[in-house]
Structure 1
């Protein structure tokens, strides 16, 4: 039993003893000078034993006094009532032999004193807490809960036993009539009226529970114009299990993020293939400290590889990913390797020293406008670096290399996209060897470094404006964990020299995402925060594509992964050495001209 529960139980025992003594004292005209006092120790012992057991059954040792509710007081009442009935029965039955002349009225008075004392302590603690909060200026969040009766009931009970600044002002349920209460909380309406009720009752936040924490339900509430006027925060408990297991805490409650509005249907992935592929293997992740690389490391670590080599150029990124992995997976053998993906010596040493089985190649320059200004660095890292890695992997006997690619490699309009397309060609068009190569291509991931979401959030924090290129630009989006989950699966099931493409759902307008983010911040687009159209930047596309004209998608064993099949003849093979020489000569135009010959469907300016 936890220390706090033990202290509560001891307090209850003390209350039981005190109430019996006081009941006896009151019954005998405020005096202990009576023959019946000789039986008092026996009655006290019996009362402690019976009430302790009953209180355990009713779990009166749980809950925080300063959050006492009507439900808690009813539990105390019925626990004392049942205990007193049992005591009356025992004392009455054995009265002639063990308690001759002992007044049963003592037990009736004891019931009242014990109930009032136990309830009073809790009520006083709650009053003190509420007055203390007012005195210190701490304001409770006026919370409106949206959910079905079962989940609302579970959450209210959970809140009653944990520290929280939330004051639940009402609940919205379809399956409970308006005017009824759930654990003392009034039902104010049905879920569709969330915005109206929030405005009427001055709610600070709306807390969404399953089944109303789905993307469709969230969007429906957000689209209500009345919600924007309230500037009410939207928060959610995303998983029913968080409520059902009875272990909910403040940490389970999260802000509604843009990811929660994507509307992607959940698919239960079969991770058996990944487990067989990764477990007990020596694995290296390049770019291990980046957005995708770090998530790859986290998910790979969960499959218990024999060794995980973190290949990273940034000292700080390497430190951060190592710190997190060491804390989460203390038994995992981690190797920190600061290296340059363009360095054959760096790569060869990492591969040979640690006998790597599988390489996930995530290291790359990915920022489109920056690579337009620094094309030689983009070609050097994304193309030459990939070719160097592939050569070294073949020489070291690596079993499989998984290249992380991008939708920007399809009909590229930017230097970055062109370099990733060449990286795909370098991987796929190599002569056959014992090393297998797989490419995994997907769209944008939410929250990655350099993506629009962190930029929009910062612009909103700064008071605006939020800048978007045009009102019509669209992009594919996926959360980082979901993308990496699928990358691992694609890398495991993909065939040698195949391109695996992740199903990305529908493209989203960047302008609409900016509006949603402003609304999620409790602000009104165009009123509180301006959305400014700044025009397309060099290398940017109006929309993204996952397949080029000569490619078609075929289904795989996974619902969200496709394999690319080429329709036409292969284009000109990449002369890596020629690209390398032109980079050394700093001849940007010659490199671009060469690239155009390798990518017939390019749209480079």
Structure 2
């Protein structure tokens, strides 16, 4: 903007002075020069005001086209029209002034200012602007122009557009002819394409297909347009493994979620973790009256509190294992909805710290459920995991015990439900941050087994489905989120290597870790029931006498052979030490 403002000032000064000279055959009378600068500054101020109004200083010169020329012409007509009105109103202050000077200056200013902007584009297209990447736009979308006007994206200069919509073929956007998707290979070669921007939301299979085509053509700089849910604004982001592999549920019912959350006092345990923090964001977004964010990690609690930055947020630094401290929080705030996301979830760590895993996961959950019932919470939501199904490790078994307690406890007026799902893409401790780190360090990527698979979903969508499931729960259910098809971890690793552009990264297989399964499951048996939403099913209830379960949990804390006791409580527990 500063560049054009300075040159517009100089060009406007030149055009007005030249207009005076032409009007008086290069012999300007001295009395006409006395008010020259007053005339100039009035015209320039009006002109710049209209340029700003028409956003001419926000248009990148590489996109200068007939559309911008039209705006410049209109801005000039309005500017000089307004100046004439000003001159009539303040004739004495602005005289003497020959009216023909205004007509001549109008023409000169229009030509000079248009040529300035056009020259910039000519320089770029002549090849002198080699620092800019020749960019292919996939998807004919006018919004791309506004995004590329952002100074952050100035490296990308569109030189071609393709689309698979036959109606748009041979039309023009940003002065570029829209070509067929079938021409992608020839366009990339003939136009020396260095980067690609995907401007439309494609179905996942189509997006994967596009990525593989570009990868085979050695295009490593691939961006897509991302819409920020909080502001509905659009930005460019690198295409990620989440875009390629995440499962996107199509039956999110945001009205149902909002009616469940709005104007409620909500307590979220583990609020600073991957799941807890996203649920906190969603609850704020859907209009919670008050958010009690509880976490034992000072750092995590600080981060989510600072991020939400709202007076409805109350941070509570506590552990769910301390019943008396936890009860003071329930007594003080009396939450209507309790979402329990606090848990130790890393399989190998819990295998090495069995008592801590039992104490935090089982006792912490029991404390939260008991206090929710005691203080009359309307609903309690337990975040569970696919590792609770026929568990092979201590972590999964502790979560299964939590499910049993949630299903069989005497809940009075509190509706207690569990929601079970698989891995979320990019959560702390998941394979994606680990693989990213290994790629940055030059490899190798370590995968435990060539056949290991996992379910994956994006964190925001998983959390929305959790809230949606909670909204329809009546108590005693275990809701299961549809995670799509399981993904081979080795395929995930290969995709991440492709995305990095580093072709020399190797994959090494290091063997299954203690308690680790090749395949995760979401159901213990096939007696699940459908709900009104395709993405959510309900597992059948497992009966367990609550008095016996309480007794078993007490014994579990005291006994020496905790594995044997866990197997007694959860008969399907098949401990795999590998």
When normalised by structure 2's length, the TM-score is 0.83
Distance in structure 2 (CA, Å) of the matches to 1:351 and 1:84: 65
The one of 268, 285, 289 equivalent to 2:268 is: 285
Q: What is the match of residue 311 of structure 2?
A: 331
Q: What is the match of residue 457 of structure 1?
A: 436
Distance in structure 2 (CA, Å) of the matches to 1:179 and 1:394: 65
Structure 1 gaps, min length 5: 91-101
Cα distance, 1:476 vs. partner?
1.1
Corresponding position: 1:592 with 2:554 = no
Distance in structure 2 (CA, Å) of the matches to 1:431 and 1:196: 68
Cα distance, 1:448 vs. partner?
0.8
The 1:468/1:158 distance shift into structure 2, 3 A limit, reads closer
Q: What is the match of residue 474 of structure 1?
A: 453
Distance in structure 2 (CA, Å) of the matches to 1:317 and 1:490: 26
Cα distance, 1:220 vs. partner?
1.0
Cα distance, 1:54 vs. partner?
12
Cα distance, 1:8 vs. partner?
7.7
Q: Equivalent residue of 1:552, what SS?
A: coil
Distance in structure 2 (CA, Å) of the matches to 1:384 and 1:268: 35
The 1:473/1:301 distance shift into structure 2, 3 A limit, reads same
Contact preservation (8 Å) 1:418, 1:595:
yes
Contact preservation (8 Å) 1:553, 1:562:
yes
Corresponding position: 1:300 with 2:287 = no
Contact preservation (8 Å) 1:579, 1:591:
no
The one of 576, 581, 586 equivalent to 2:550 is: 576
Q: What is the match of residue 205 of structure 1?
A: 195
The one of 288, 292, 297 equivalent to 1:314 is: 297
The one of 110, 117, 122 equivalent to 1:115 is: 110
Q: What is the match of residue 97 of structure 1?
A: none
Distance in structure 2 (CA, Å) of the matches to 1:390 and 1:265: 31
Q: Equivalent residue of 2:528, what SS?
A: strand
Contact preservation (8 Å) 1:409, 1:417:
yes
Q: What is the match of residue 497 of structure 1?
A: 476
My pick for the range that moved more, 556-565 or 14-23, is: 14-23
Corresponding position: 1:483 with 2:462 = yes
The one of 557, 569, 577 equivalent to 2:532 is: 557
The one of 116, 135, 138 equivalent to 1:143 is: 135
Corresponding position: 1:601 with 2:568 = no
Q: Equivalent residue of 1:512, what SS?
A: helix
The 1:82/1:359 distance shift into structure 2, 3 A limit, reads closer
Q: What is the match of residue 505 of structure 2?
A: 529
Distance in structure 2 (CA, Å) of the matches to 1:595 and 1:241: 43
Contact preservation (8 Å) 2:556, 2:565:
no
Contact preservation (8 Å) 1:76, 1:118:
no
Distance in structure 1 (CA, Å) of the matches to 2:215 and 2:159: 17
Cα distance, 1:178 vs. partner?
8.4
Distance in structure 2 (CA, Å) of the matches to 1:552 and 1:191: 46
Distance in structure 2 (CA, Å) of the matches to 1:341 and 1:410: 24
Distance in structure 2 (CA, Å) of the matches to 1:401 and 1:420: 15
Distance in structure 2 (CA, Å) of the matches to 1:478 and 1:103: 69
Contact preservation (8 Å) 1:360, 1:401:
yes
Q: What is the match of residue 74 of structure 1?
A: 69
1:522-547: CA deviations, max 9, x gaps?
233xxx11111222222111212111
Distance in structure 2 (CA, Å) of the matches to 1:402 and 1:338: 20
Query: Superposition pairs for residues 427-466 of structure 1, below 5 Å?
Result: 427-466=406-445
Distance in structure 1 (CA, Å) of the matches to 2:221 and 2:383: 37
Q: What is the match of residue 26 of structure 1?
A: 22
Aligned length: 561
Contact preservation (8 Å) 2:185, 2:217:
no
My pick for the range that moved more, 593-602 or 60-69, is: 60-69
Q: What is the match of residue 63 of structure 1?
A: 58
Cα distance, 1:195 vs. partner?
5.3
The one of 163, 169, 188 equivalent to 1:173 is: 163
1:202-250: CA deviations, max 9, x gaps?
4332100115x442232112223x634524221101459999x9x65xx
The 1:195/1:124 distance shift into structure 2, 3 A limit, reads closer
Cα distance, 1:557 vs. partner?
2.5
Distance in structure 1 (CA, Å) of the matches to 2:563 and 2:407: 21
Q: Equivalent residue of 1:253, what SS?
A: strand
Aligned-residue RMSD, C-alpha: 4.2
The 1:556/1:200 distance shift into structure 2, 3 A limit, reads same
The 1:156/1:530 distance shift into structure 2, 3 A limit, reads same
Contact preservation (8 Å) 1:293, 1:362:
yes
Cα distance, 1:108 vs. partner?
7.0
1:108-131: CA deviations, max 9, x gaps?
754542223213444577799999
Q: Equivalent residue of 1:398, what SS?
A: coil
Structure 2 gaps, min length 5: 86-97
Corresponding position: 1:547 with 2:523 = yes
The one of 342, 347, 353 equivalent to 1:368 is: 347
Contact preservation (8 Å) 1:173, 1:191:
yes
Q: Equivalent residue of 2:523, what SS?
A: coil
When normalised by structure 1's length, the TM-score is 0.80
Q: Equivalent residue of 1:223, what SS?
A: helix
The 1:186/1:242 distance shift into structure 2, 3 A limit, reads farther
Q: Equivalent residue of 1:505, what SS?
A: coil
Contact preservation (8 Å) 1:443, 1:475:
yes
The one of 148, 169, 180 equivalent to 1:159 is: 148
Distance in structure 2 (CA, Å) of the matches to 1:241 and 1:450: 25
1:136-180: CA deviations, max 9, x gaps?
xx93333221112xx1x4423553475622222322234589898
Q: What is the match of residue 90 of structure 2?
A: none
Cα distance, 1:304 vs. partner?
2.9
Cα distance, 1:358 vs. partner?
1.7
Cα distance, 1:348 vs. partner?
0.8
Cα distance, 1:58 vs. partner?
9.1
1:315-336: CA deviations, max 9, x gaps?
111111111111xxx232x222
The 1:305/1:412 distance shift into structure 2, 3 A limit, reads same
The 1:182/1:520 distance shift into structure 2, 3 A limit, reads same
